[in-house]
Structure 1
């Protein structure tokens, strides 16, 4: 456990100084090749947990410390200790003893070991009082930056509490059944036969009661099923593809929506992304599903002249880069890495992609604009701006009752997404 705490200290440190949690974890697994699955699970739990509740943990620690702690590694170790005391089932004395032992590896000073011991034991004695005191500040209460809280309060006055709370839940594990190979009912029975409980959310979406490793999913390697958030599963059906159509999936990696499109009907699908390494993952996903794309292209969606073959597309899926504010439960580092100014940068990029892709969409074609964001600056306002500049575009109504004015808000069953289907007249 001490080793896992120390590695988690390093991970949290890198993330809170600007690195992506996903990238840091990938680097960690490459560096520490002998870690057991149990150790990896603990490292992920500590890292995700501290980042998920960072606002709360940091405020509690600020109250407990009489002055600022200059040794950042000890600071992060204390955050991990507080997280364990609050959210794990380990006995309190075990958490304290392991944290003290871990501090010995970070510094030789006995005063620091005494500080770690004193701070964590003080928390145990004053837990309820400290939780109440910390909750007086919104950053601590919701574990989100203040600018984020303030923005949601204005934009979603009836829902901002629920959105913030949903962000701090552990993400659900949802499966997309490949109905070209097996029915949803039959696959649900397969899960049951393997002691995995599930329930149907949407036509192809099964929510597992308890997440499992993909290697345990029956028929996963044979393409019977894919892991995909229920909200993301709406994209492919909403694009309204039909047999024989020429379709572009722009910004496609890691390819979940591409695979879904190919499962729906026989289309000529071009898959585009500007990250060459991520396109490798797309190809692996298609190989597992035993599906083939018409082309897999590395290129920038905002500059089709560099990769487009000159033939117009009947359908375009534009899942554009965004703040990812709708998938915070899966990526808690986003809350602390994003800045409000980033929204403008993303909106400029999104508008450029929209304009470029519109030029290569056939008349009477359809473009589905998608983000995993909940901020209107990247969603509704983007579409309003686009419509002002393109008289040949109109919005097609979406029938899904969960989507309100294009927005699917995150909850315990799915992430947050924005969908708008544009018809080119």
Structure 2
């Protein structure tokens, strides 16, 4: 494996661990190898376990400016404990990256830590470590006392690569994939591939989206006459699916993160899909000036302030219609889907008017 594979994986890990950003927002080059992504995702997936192991072996914490070396050791630890990569090669090439970071002094330290992990591998793997944040461990155990072990195992299992095929493209014959009955457009790939190697991917022939997420747009039953608000739209799976099913509908794509919203726009720029407007959350008041009436809502993520705000407004409409903000015009008869992308263990109750 070329060292550049690990260097790029390390940059993605640093993006998440040190810069506190989402891995899904990391900008990989188009020719990125599946192995690079596997190393990055794997290290982040087992971050809490790997961090506890590496931190426990260090005699003292590294200085803030050297935390990239800590991330490098996490990457090495992941390869030793959770990959099939030859251990001697993975250790050697991981250690060698310290030179590229202009920190040759760290090579001895990284090598020593990784060699110790290699010696202790069997013992480490016999120890139970759920690799979740402490607060989430407690919440899930309290909420699902009979099933929390299964939940942790599934959370730490690499998800399969699932595509959503565009109904007007015919690329089925080019795929090594399995159909999913409950999601007609979904295809479960038998082996992950670089999306840019898929036929006409850049023209919208397919979109990477979990099968469960593909169930929502058909439930909303979009029509060409609809004006749809897609709140928390990034990374664009819901937005593109709605547009595929109702190409003449008007869709407002809104997100709280300007960078994620920009990536949605870039994703859609090369596709034959039309999204009426894009809004960052702080500009949501402009929705009311579009001169149309919202007929359907697609709201995601319980920590998305706008999504919760809309739900609260709609749930109280019949009790006090005047509570509605002027920027949120919608029909008295509407459809709404409220989903969450977290394993939300708190429970909300609300009374929604029937559509």
Give the TM-score category using the shorter length: 0.7 to 0.9
Shift of 1:54: 1.6
Structure-2-length-normalised TM-score = 0.79
Decide which of 229, 254, 273 is 1:291's aligned counterpart: 273
Extract unaligned runs of 5+ from structure 2. 318-323
Question: Which residue pairs with 1:199 in the alignment?
Answer: 179
Structure 2 vs 1, CA of residues 241 and 10 (structure 1 numbering), >3 Å: closer, same or farther? closer
Alignment of 1:7-406 (within 5 A): 8-9=9-10, 11-22=12-23, 25-26=26-27, 37-38=32-33, 41=34, 43-70=36-63, 71-104=66-99, 106-109=102-105, 112-133=106-127, 135=128, 141-179=129-167, 181-182=168-169, 187-191=171-175, 196-201=176-181, 202-265=183-246, 267-274=248-255, 281-282=263-264, 285-286=267-268, 288-293=270-275, 295-300=276-281, 303-304=284-285, 307-319=288-300, 321-322=301-302, 346=303, 349-356=306-313, 359=324, 360-377=329-346, 380-381=347-348, 384=349, 386-387=350-351, 393-394=352-353
Question: Which residue pairs with 1:337 in the alignment?
Answer: none
Extract unaligned runs of 5+ from structure 1. 30-34, 136-140, 323-345, 388-392, 395-422
Give the 3-state SS of the residue equivalent to 2:77 in structure 1: helix
Shift of 1:151: 0.6
Structure-1-length-normalised TM-score = 0.67
- Asked whether the 8 Å contact 1:198–1:208 carries over to 2, the reply is yes
- Alpha-carbon separation, structure 2, partners of 1:348 and 1:286: 25
Structure 2 vs 1, CA of residues 125 and 168 (structure 1 numbering), >3 Å: closer, same or farther? same
Structure 2 vs 1, CA of residues 306 and 271 (structure 1 numbering), >3 Å: closer, same or farther? closer
Structure 2 vs 1, CA of residues 36 and 63 (structure 1 numbering), >3 Å: closer, same or farther? same
- Asked whether the 8 Å contact 1:205–1:233 carries over to 2, the reply is yes
Structure 2 vs 1, CA of residues 243 and 113 (structure 1 numbering), >3 Å: closer, same or farther? closer
What is the root-mean-square deviation of aligned Cα atoms in Å?
3.4
Moved more, 123-132 or 112-121: 112-121
- Alpha-carbon separation, structure 1, partners of 2:313 and 2:280: 13
Shift of 1:296: 1.4
- Asked whether the 8 Å contact 1:247–1:267 carries over to 2, the reply is no
Structure 2 vs 1, CA of residues 132 and 311 (structure 1 numbering), >3 Å: closer, same or farther? same
- Asked whether the 8 Å contact 1:142–1:164 carries over to 2, the reply is yes
Which structure's relative contact order is higher, taking Cα pairs within 8 Å and 6+ residues apart?
Answer: 1
- Asked whether the 8 Å contact 1:273–1:301 carries over to 2, the reply is no
- Alpha-carbon separation, structure 1, partners of 2:267 and 2:15: 30
- Asked whether the 8 Å contact 1:205–1:230 carries over to 2, the reply is yes
- Alpha-carbon separation, structure 1, partners of 2:259 and 2:157: 30
Give the 3-state SS of the residue equivalent to 1:142 in structure 2: coil
Q: Deviations over 1:92-122 (max 9, x none)?
A: 222232344334555344xx54443333223
Q: Deviations over 1:217-250 (max 9, x none)?
A: 2343443332222121112111133453343333
- Alpha-carbon separation, structure 2, partners of 1:271 and 1:297: 6
- Alpha-carbon separation, structure 2, partners of 1:263 and 1:77: 42
Q: Deviations over 1:389-422 (max 9, x none)?
A: xxxx34xxxxxxxxxxxxxxxxxxxxxxxxxxxx
Shift of 1:309: 3.2
- Asked whether the 8 Å contact 2:231–2:307 carries over to 1, the reply is no
Structure 2 vs 1, CA of residues 209 and 244 (structure 1 numbering), >3 Å: closer, same or farther? same
- Asked whether the 8 Å contact 2:12–2:40 carries over to 1, the reply is yes
**Count of aligned pairs between the two proteins:** 337
Structure 2 vs 1, CA of residues 363 and 131 (structure 1 numbering), >3 Å: closer, same or farther? same
- Alpha-carbon separation, structure 2, partners of 1:198 and 1:50: 28
Shift of 1:262: 2.8
Structure 2 vs 1, CA of residues 292 and 142 (structure 1 numbering), >3 Å: closer, same or farther? same
